[in-house]
Structure 1
Amino acid sequence: MPEGKSDTAIAENFADHFLDKINKIRDALASFKKFTPDHKEVPCFGMFEELTQDEVKKIINHLQTKSCELDALPTRVLKSFLTMRTAASKV
């Protein structure tokens, strides 16, 4: 620690250093042209093809068993439900 400086002064110098860096980055970014993506027409889904239970099962079974916290239903739960449903239908 530098001698003669209080902890508060050191902390303020440290904060000022990083605030200055952030302001310099912001100033540099302000000179860039704003990115505007090209507008693309996306077709509307007006018709759907009906799938059989076997086709749905095949699609679900081919999914990678990966999930993230944002998934409403984790893939492993979906697959286990599918397995339970198949077993229950044979009882």
Structure 2
Amino acid sequence: MPEGESDTAIVENFADHFLDKINKIRDALASFEKFTPDHKEVPCFGMFEELTQDEVKKIINHLQTKYHAN
């Protein structure tokens, strides 16, 4: 903690720092066109199959435990 500054001043400086960052990001993004994704038809799920606990455990155990960046 910086010496000589009150807790209130430290908190206010911290908040000001991040508000400044947010405002800079917003200003930088203001020049970009608004993104509108293409409309895609997505099938609607009308029925789900019930899974047993063992099936769920098997699925979970086969998931990767780490994210690997390419």
**TM-score (norm: length of structure 1):** 0.40
Q: Which protein has the bigger helix share?
A: 1
Of stretches 22-31 and 40-49 in structure 1, the one that deviates more from structure 2 is 40-49
Are 2:32 and 1:32 equivalent residues in the alignment? Answer: yes
Distance 1:3 1:56, change over 3 A: closer
Structure having greater relative contact order (Cα 8 Å, sep ≥ 6)? 1
C-alpha distance in 1 between matches for 2:4 and 2:57: 73
Q: Kindly report the root-mean-square deviation, in angstroms, between the aligned alpha carbons of the 2 structures.
A: 8.4
Could you list the runs of 5+ residues in structure 2 that have no partner in the other structure? none
- Structure 1 position 34, deviation (Å): 1.0
Q: Which has the larger radius of gyration?
A: 1
Gaps in structure 1 of 5+ consecutive residues: 67-90
In structure 1, how many angstroms separate the alpha carbons of the residues matched to 2:21 and 2:56? 53
Mapped to 1, the partners of 2:2 and 2:57 lie a distance apart of 68
Aligned residues: 67
Q: What is the percent sequence identity of the aligned residues?
A: 94
